[in-house]
């Protein structure tokens, strides 16, 4: 758990974004062959409403003063589940991997106590080729729970004018200045995901704080689906992959009683057309492959294919009422709780 002699840890600041991005890009290239994170993604993490820069994230610094590792916690919403992320430079940062994970697990135990919980379920993500990281997770008590897929389709040939939706269905952009509209948007998202085992609810206020904390929001890429004048589905885009010239579908939700009517496909068609009109080369999203509704079939039907798959691991930590220092050991408990990982959600 200890860092090698000469190494140290400190808290990150926004000035560290370039150094952090260099570590993440090196990690991405080693695992995927290409970068999959942008400077805006780093800023979004560091400015997220649920992340405390002074308590929930660390940098590992080598004896030469270079940042070689970065770890943080996300997605807790003060609830019983959260995700730990640990990035290290594949050539220079490996010694920091286990110590950073240990610190974050100890912090999860502290957060459980702060939130009034008996325990916290912690998720971690690995790619199939990251054998060392998978070994580190298993040694730390994590167990495999599911897979998710990062999907993409090219937008070459997609017209800027979307095809007509099914009869009785209307797709329109969201009205971002209308508070009642945004509450309806959140209600549909929340209601549609309530029957998903991995769903962790967020209040409208929590959701709105997350949106406001984003580095940028392209409201014209957010859509509402209406059936006979009633809002029944939503699509929320994000700017997180603009560095790859890609439009990103962050959330897609259709109320249960209106599924199987082509509403989800129509929302995607409108989003793809909007992305194409802006000159984007690709459309992308993430999907939980264990979702019982099987949304991957919808995505395949609109031309999307897996770019890669991710493995989701899970363990539990008991609440640490004593709240020791960052090197404290979080205790392992048996856990069967499911949690949403960092893949995009679709219902």
Whether 275 is in a domain gets the answer yes
**CATH classification of the domain holding 288:** 3.40.630.30
16 and 117 in one domain? yes
8: β partners: 61
Tens of pLDDT, residues 294-323: 789 999 999 999 999 999 999 999 999 775
Confidence of residue 337 (pLDDT cuts 50, 70, 90): very low
Domains in the chain, number: 2
Mean pLDDT calculated for residue range 158-170: 95
- 137: nearest Cα among 107, 102, 109, 90: 102
Question: d(Cα 289, Cα 292) in Å, to the nearest integer?
Answer: 8
Whether 271 is in a domain gets the answer yes
Question: d(Cα 254, Cα 260) in Å, to the nearest integer?
Answer: 10
H or E stretch including 227?
strand 223-227
Confidence of residue 100 (pLDDT cuts 50, 70, 90): very high
Q: Which domain holds residue 16?
A: 8-150+309-341
157 and 302 in one domain? yes
278 and 289 in one domain? yes
- 136: nearest Cα among 120, 124, 153: 124
Q: Can you say how many angstroms the Cα of residue 225 is from the centroid of all Cα atoms in its chain?
A: 24
174 and 44 in one domain? no
> Which pLDDT score, from 0 to 100, does residue 69 have?
98
Question: d(Cα 180, Cα 182) in Å, to the nearest integer?
Answer: 5
pLDDT higher than threshold 50 for residue 152: yes
239 and 198 in one domain? yes
168 and 37 in one domain? no
DSSP H helical segments within 57-172, as ranges?
97-114, 131-139
- Output the average pLDDT for the chain: 90
Confidence of residue 341 (pLDDT cuts 50, 70, 90): very low
> Which pLDDT score, from 0 to 100, does residue 332 have?
36
- In b/e form, how buried is each residue of 201-215, taking b as 16+ CB within 10 angstroms? ebebebbbebbeebe
> Which pLDDT score, from 0 to 100, does residue 165 have?
96
> Which pLDDT score, from 0 to 100, does residue 326 have?
46
Where on the phi/psi map is residue 228: left (φ > 0), alpha (ψ -120 to 50), or beta? left
316 and 301 in one domain? no
CA distances from 97 to 92, 135, 151, 280 (A): 11, 11, 28, 36
Count of residues in the chain: 347
Question: d(Cα 227, Cα 137) in Å, to the nearest integer?
Answer: 46
Confidence of residue 36 (pLDDT cuts 50, 70, 90): confident
159 and 294 in one domain? yes
pLDDT higher than threshold 50 for residue 134: yes
Q: pLDDT higher for 59 or 339?
A: 59
> Which pLDDT score, from 0 to 100, does residue 76 have?
61
Whether 346 is in a domain gets the answer no
DSSP E strands, 78-196 = 81-88, 119-126, 143-154, 169-173
Of the candidate ranges 115-124, 136-145, 315-324, the one whose mean pLDDT is the lowest: 315-324
Whether 347 is in a domain gets the answer no
172 and 290 in one domain? yes
Whether 22 is in a domain gets the answer yes
Tens of pLDDT, residues 11-29: 999 999 999 999 999 999 9
Q: Is 307 helix (H, G, I), strand (E, B) or coil?
A: strand
pLDDT higher than threshold 80 for residue 255: yes
Q: Can you say how many angstroms the Cα of residue 309 is from the centroid of all Cα atoms in its chain?
A: 14
281 and 166 in one domain? yes
Q: Can you say how many angstroms the Cα of residue 191 is from the centroid of all Cα atoms in its chain?
A: 20
285 and 254 in one domain? yes
237 and 269 in one domain? yes
Confidence of residue 203 (pLDDT cuts 50, 70, 90): very high
Structure tokens at 24: 């993440």
Confidence of residue 1 (pLDDT cuts 50, 70, 90): low
Tens of pLDDT, residues 44-67: 999 988 899 999 999 999 999 999
Assess contact for 155 and 275: CB atoms under 8 A: yes
């Amino acid at each position: 758990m200890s860092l090698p002699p000469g190494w140290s840890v400190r808290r990150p600041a926004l000035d560290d974004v370039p150094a952090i991005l260099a570590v993440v890009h090196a990690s991405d290239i080693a695992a995927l062959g290409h970068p999959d994170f942008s400077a805006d993604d780093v800023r979004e993490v560091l400015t997220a409403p649920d992340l405390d820069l002074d308590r929930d994230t660390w940098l590992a610094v080598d004896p030469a003063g270079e940042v070689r590792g970065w770890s943080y916690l996300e997605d807790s919403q003060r609830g019983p589940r959260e995700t730990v992320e640990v990035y290290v430079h594949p050539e220079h940062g490996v010694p920091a991997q286990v110590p950073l994970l240990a610190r974050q697990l100890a912090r999860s135990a502290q957060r459980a106590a702060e939130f009034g919980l008996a325990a916290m379920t912690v998720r971690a993500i690995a790619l199939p080729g990251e054998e060392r990281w998978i070994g580190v997770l298993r040694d730390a008590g994590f167990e495999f729970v599911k897979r998710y897929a990062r999907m993409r389709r090219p937008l070459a040939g997609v017209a800027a004018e979307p095809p007509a939706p099914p009869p009785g269905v209307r797709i329109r952009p969201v009205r971002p200045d209308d508070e009642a509209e945004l509450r309806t948007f959140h209600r549909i998202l929340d209601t549609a995901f309530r029957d998903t085992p991995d769903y962790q609810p967020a209040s409208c206020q929590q959701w709105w704080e997350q949106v406001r904390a984003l580095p940028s929001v392209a409201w014209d890429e957010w859509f509402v689906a209406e059936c006979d004048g009633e809002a029944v589905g939503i699509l929320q885009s994000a700017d997180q992959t603009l560095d790859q010239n890609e439009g990103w579908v962050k959330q897609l939700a259709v109320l249960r009683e209106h599924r199987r009517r082509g509403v989800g496909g129509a929302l995607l068609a409108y989003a793809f057309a909007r992305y194409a009109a802006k000159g984007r080369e690709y459309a992308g999203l993430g999907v939980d492959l264990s979702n019982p509704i099987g949304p991957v079939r919808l995505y395949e039907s609109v031309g999307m294919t897996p770019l890669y798959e991710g493995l989701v691991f899970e363990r539990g930590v008991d609440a640490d009422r004593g709240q020791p220092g960052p090197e404290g050991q979080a205790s392992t408990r048996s856990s069967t709780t499911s949690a949403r990982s960092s893949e995009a959600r679709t219902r």
